[in-house]
Each structure stands twice: as C-alpha cells, then as structure tokens.
Amino acid sequence: MTLPGARPAGIDDEGSAALAVREMFDSIAPRYDLLNHLLSSSVDRLWWWRAAWRFRDVLADPDAAILDVCCGTGDMTMALLKRRPKGARPIVAIDFARKMLDRGAKKFGARGAQAVEADALHLPVRPASLDLIVTAFGFRNLANYEAGLREFRRVLKPGGRLGILEFGTPAGFAGKVYAFYFRRVLPAVGRMICGKDGPYTYLPNSVGSFPPPSEMLELMRATGYEECSWQPYTFGIAGLYTAIRGAVA
C-alpha cells in the first residue's frame, strides 16, 4: 500500500516527517545545486525548461497569478521567469526550508519573483486566486500527497492549471541501470560532497515509495482535477504531471 506521503526512515507521523524533511534540506542547502547538476549531468536543466514550455501560454499572460511550490533553490522559478513578459505580475516562490529559500531568492529576487516561507500544505493564498501552480521535485517530499493536491486545488481558479515535475522509475534495462546508479552511486557521491549520509539515502527511498503514474493520476482525478496526464522525460527518470482544476466544488 502506498504511503500517504514522505516518510524519512524511522518516522511514522506526518508532523515529524515534515520537520525531518525541512531540517534535511536546510542542512544540504549550501551544496544542493552543485550536487543536483553533478548527479544529473545537468539534464535537470532540460526538465525545468520542458516543464516551463508546457505552460508557455499561461506564462505569456502578464496578469496570470503563478505559484512555484517547494521552490527550493529556485531553478524551476528561473525557468518560469524566462517565459514571463517584461513587467508581468511577479511569480510567488514558496518553500518551508528557509536556507533553501534564501539561496533561491538570491537567484530570482531581482528577476520578477517573490520568495515566501510557507508550508505547501498550508498555503498563505486566497481560495480560487491562482492561474497556475508548478512544483518541481518537491511534491514527493510532502507529508501527505492527497492533502497537498487538495490544498493546491483550493487556491487554483476553476480552470487553473497544475504541473508537478517529479522523479520516476524507468522500466526495462534502462530502469536497472538507473536503479543501480540511484541506489549505489548517488548516495556515495552525495555523502562524499555533502558530508552527510541521510539526505542522499532518503532520495532514492522517497522515489521508490512515490505512487506510480497510474496511481498518481487516479489520486489527482479523485481530488477534483480534470484532463490529468503524465509526460515522461528521459526514459521516465522524471516526468511531468499536468491537470486542470475542475469547476465542481
């Protein structure tokens, strides 16, 4: 049975899980960008670009209200900003890990985005006020996936759009190679550079316990989203979930 949300090793309840995840990301914030680009061979930049391109029509609207949830150090925010017209309404970038958010704000603070420290499960946003929510590699870390989808739906306008960029598990031979890298090589490199074992052991475990696309799409439909779809990137190593907030309450 799929867990309701992220559960670092030895933790069972949602409150403790959220606290552990926040502390973990704060602890690796100084090395986060270096490790991300190194461990993905910078393919992650392509994933952010493709996700932003998918929502190019919304991003081109200068009055669109856009939220980047779990923005981390701001790479997804920067990809979104590249498609915003000059003088457009600022993108709001939210994260609950202060040290990650501080590093992100240094990137996008002067580029048309506003950094806000907040929990993705309790967004400081008015109901039905957003045209687009995007989250990149952060949704998997929420303590409760269904609660996250319901909170996103609460603040999206009817017809508003949702994009969730997340890691996946490739099938076939590529999946076997990826699994070896993800569970053997990545933790070792992360430990060597970061000096910590936990965060880069948590990463493959969190991907392995995340709902598969079919289950994730079912959950999205059950929480009031329409036109739900999943587009795999790079053999399914990552993928973009998209949906529209339905009009029915």
Stretch 147-154: mean pLDDT, rounded? Answer: 98
What is the distance between the alpha carbons of residues 147 and 153, in angstroms, rounded to a whole number?
A: 10
Tell me the average pLDDT across 116-139.
97
Percentage of the chain lying above the pLDDT 70 cut:
94
42-90 pLDDT, tens digit per residue, is 788 999 999 999 999 999 999 999 999 999 999 999 999 999 999 999 9
pLDDT, one tens digit per residue, over 202-247 is: 877 888 889 999 999 999 999 999 999 999 999 898 999 999 998 8
pLDDT tens profile 178-187: 778 777 777 7
User: pTM of this prediction?
Assistant: 0.93
Residue 197, phi-psi category: left (phi > 0), alpha (psi -120 to 50), beta (remainder): alpha
pLDDT higher than threshold 60 for residue 1: no
Is the pLDDT at 111 greater than 50? The verdict is: yes
**pLDDT in the model for residue 196:** 65
Contact 75, 1 (CB under 8 A): no
pLDDT for the residue numbered 192: 75
b/e per residue, 34-70, with b = 16+ CB within 10 A? ebbeebbeeebeebbebbbebbeebbeeeebbbbbbb
Q: For each of the domains in the chain, give its residue range(s) and CATH number, in order of start.
A: 14-169+211-245 (3.40.50.150)
